[in-house]
Amino acid sequence: MSEQKIQLTGLTPDAATVWVKSLGEPGFRAKQLYGWLVKGVGFDEMKNLPGAFLTKVAEQALAQPAAILERHVSKQDGTEKLLFVLHDGHTVEGVIMRYHHGITLCLSTQVGCAMGCAFCASTLQGKLRDLTAGEMAGMCYLANRLAGPDRISNIVLMGSGEPLDNYDQVTAFLRLISSPDTLNIGARHISLSTCGLPQKIRALAEEGMQVTLSLSLHAPNDEIRKQIMPIARAHSIDDVLQACRYYIEKTGRRVVFEYALIDGINDKLEHARELASRLRRMQCHVNLIPLNDVKERNLRASPRAQVERFLETLTQLNISTTVRRQLGNDIFGACGQLRAQRLKTPYQDDKQGDAP
């Protein structure tokens, strides 16, 4: 069964060497093998490795635990929405976003999500399972291959799933992908988005990795937050913000607060003033997000004029604030939308690439 096979993309170079030697093969084969894995290729493309060696490896391991099932390119801005199929048939999404400062990959950390946020399409099917470090790394390698000579320079863990609910695999992935032996993407070029698990935020602060913490706040008080984010029933805003302050203290990194503006729910100017009061004197930035409509939730985006008024109010109160640029609107660019659309239609084996 493929799920019992070793995911080579989840191994460090040293671990790969140990494993290759356990097969009775010379250690230098591991370096050759690893070089191909990072390029996002399958066994059939590893031209400088003996066929007998590859056959032996393939019996026990997966080269790429994911493949690209669908690829949609926005005609508006060149954003690429990817639907990956995993070795067990589950699907998750990724997005390649091109900016003047580089190429950013938005990556999922779980199949679905258990957090139940009312404004997010990723939660509609619930959480099916965690992704492994090898699956996350493998998807990065496949996306990097698509990105071409410009390569991926930034990663945001803002796809489906709650990264801190998959803590061990996510932190293993962060160490793996920042290694010079893989994509060498430094922690300062990686953002991790969480709905707010205080104990895990504190644990992450102790890891010694200076990733940017993005906190999905979306409300200025517990009353509103509980309406749209079930996690708020377990953790108050005060507890979450205290954990964020600890993260800032330990890492020296500012925290980004994500705030999706929902018409008539959390977008009044009094909400902006209350938010500013909570965040005053914190080393932080607020990222206002025009809501992507989720029909199943019956929630609407705030009018553009209201977004501008909210932004102006926060700015006047000395809170660093911007409005997130929307990309890929014509290709189900928001998290969970493409997968949700796919789940409504019969599965067809039209994947690009190979998941051995």
Any idea where the domains of the chain sit in the sequence?
Answer: 2-62, 66-343
Same fold, 2-62 and 66-343: no
| Torsion, CA 139, CA 141, CA 143, CA 147, rounded to 10 | 170
Sign of the torsion angle spanned by Cα atoms 146, 85, 173, 254:
positive
Q: What is the pTM of this model?
A: 0.90
Q: Which CATH class is domain 2-62?
A: mainly alpha
**Residue 348 has what pLDDT?**
36
**Residue 324 has what pLDDT?**
87
Q: Which residues are catalytic?
A: 93, 335
**Residue 294 has what pLDDT?**
65
**Residue 329 has what pLDDT?**
58
Residues of the chain predicted below pLDDT 70: 1-3, 293-297, 326-356
Find out if CATH 3.40.50.2000 is the number for domain 66-343: no
Rounded-to-integer distance, Cα 267 and Cα 312, Å: 12
